[in-house]
Amino acid sequence: MLFPRAVVCTRQLAVAGPRRFASTSPPAGPAKPSNLPYLLLGSGVAGIATYIYLEKNGVGSKKVEEKKQEKSPLDPQNFVDFKLKKIEPYNHNTAKFTFELPENEASLLPVASCVVVKSSDPEALKDAKGRPVIRPYTPISPSDKKGELTFLIKKYDSGKMTVHIHDLKPGDSLSIKGPIPKWPWKMNEFEDVGMIAGGSGITPMYQILNHALTDPSNKTKFKLIFANLTEPDILLREEFDALKKKYPNNFDVIYTLDKPSSDWTGSTGYVSSDLIKKTFSPASAGEKVKIFVCGPPGQLIALAGKKDGMKQGEVGGTLKELGYTEDQVYKF
Ligand SMILES: Cc1cc2nc3c(=O)[nH]c(=O)nc-3n(C[C@H](O)[C@H](O)[C@H](O)COP(=O)(O)OP(=O)(O)OC[C@H]3O[C@@H](n4cnc5c(N)ncnc54)[C@H](O)[C@@H]3O)c2cc1C
């Protein structure tokens, strides 16, 4: 499992040195114009220069110390309440929710992982059997981002958790437990990675891409097929387009729409066998290739076969027809 590279730097003031006092008085005599203002000015300038030198070189009265943050503020065994810091509307049904992490700490969540959430009020959100409603979400903020944990959450009007979260106001809290580890990403484990996402199933793909592409050691080539209903439904499009521009040799994204407008020039329709064939490395590439899939249940079943509860289940659907095996496919 890859652990994030978060380092917290703290600057600490060393204890000040002993204070010095004048031991002799000036001799008595006729009053002379005082040099004191010049002396004070001179010592002030020298003092500032010394301070700048010591600051720059990290020696003397100021000492620079590096302290590693060892623990995540999240707990994998227990729900912890986190305060909602801000809400940024994204499109007609989706918004970014940023929660505050205490003491400016980073989440240190491994890539890829998600968390589960429930209402902070035990009476607020229950299922038909009276148990708390709990749902998984994948943070989109980097795991070394200090003080913040951001989610991109699509609202379903008939949905329990998403209606609750979209009703929260800054200052309210949500109970979060994690991490729930998913695929343990190791840099350069694969030559080629194919990703298929539908709708809000994009968040785990973004977590991996943002982590891997921005690492200077990355050699893996990523191809993402991202399926949506209409153009405004494409989440994180700006971010993907920016990644494609910055890493043109290692990342490409193909958007496909079920209901495109007349001026749409990209791919249309569901993710097809032909689109996968012409975009991804073939199954014959063996262990050099990995395919990640995340989307609504219908899409997942059609492309990769049903998940068996928390287990992966057999590979089915289009990917099986194309010869991809259990070792080559991961369903989020
Ligand atoms: C590992 C994992 C990570 C996830 N990460 C995110 C994330 O980062 N952002 C995010 O917005 N969602 C994410 N989800 C989906 C999320 O967990 C919930 O399923 C979703 O928010 C709906 O919850 P709800 O309680 O509002 O709806 P529910 O009350 O469970 O369902 C309401 C209605 O919505 C439909 N529905 C529920 N989920 C989906 C779906 N995914 N696609 C299509 N229809 C659906 C149901 O069939 C039902 O008709 C993730 C799911 C998994 C398994």
Transcribe 278-296 into DSSP letters. Answer: HHSPPGGGGGGEEEEEE--
Distances (CA, A) of 302 to 262, 299, 314: 27, 5, 13
Quick one: pLDDT at residue 65? 59
Cβ of residue 159 lying under 6 Å from some atom of ligand 1:
yes
144, 110 Cβ separation under 8 angstroms:
no
Cβ of residue 296 lying under 6 Å from some atom of ligand 1:
yes
Q: Are residues 166 and 198 in the same domain?
A: no
The share of the chain scoring above pLDDT 70, in percent, equals: 80
Cα–ligand 1 centroid distance for 200 (angstroms): 8
The share of the chain scoring above pLDDT 90, in percent, equals: 77
Cβ of residue 299 lying under 6 Å from some atom of ligand 1:
no
Cβ of residue 205 lying under 6 Å from some atom of ligand 1:
no
Q: Are residues 250 and 299 in the same domain?
A: yes
Cβ atoms within 10 Å, residue 156: 13
Residue nearest to atom 38 of ligand 1 (CA): 296
* Assigned domain for 258 exists: yes
Residue nearest to atom 30 of ligand 1 (CA): 159
- Compute the average pLDDT of residues 17-41: 41
* Domain count of the fold of the chain: 3
Cβ of residue 303 lying under 6 Å from some atom of ligand 1:
no
**pLDDT surpasses 70 at 173:** yes
DSSP 308: B
Tell which of 157, 181, 205 closes a domain: 181
**pLDDT surpasses 60 at 309:** yes
Q: Are residues 221 and 315 in the same domain?
A: yes
What ligand 1 atom has the least distance to the C-alpha of 155?
Answer: 26
* Assigned domain for 219 exists: yes
**pLDDT surpasses 50 at 31:** no
Cβ of residue 128 lying under 6 Å from some atom of ligand 1:
no
Quick one: pLDDT at residue 122? 87
CATH number at residue 321: 3.40.50.80
Per-residue pLDDT tens over the stretch 89-146: 999 999 999 999 999 999 999 999 999 999 999 889 999 999 999 999 999 999 999 9
The three-class DSSP label of residue 190 is coil
pTM: 0.81
CA distance 265 to 247: 23
Q: Are residues 127 and 167 in the same domain?
A: yes
CATH number at residue 149: 2.40.30.10
Per-residue pLDDT tens over the stretch 220-242: 999 999 999 999 999 999 999 99
What ligand 1 atom has the least distance to the C-alpha of 198?
Answer: 42
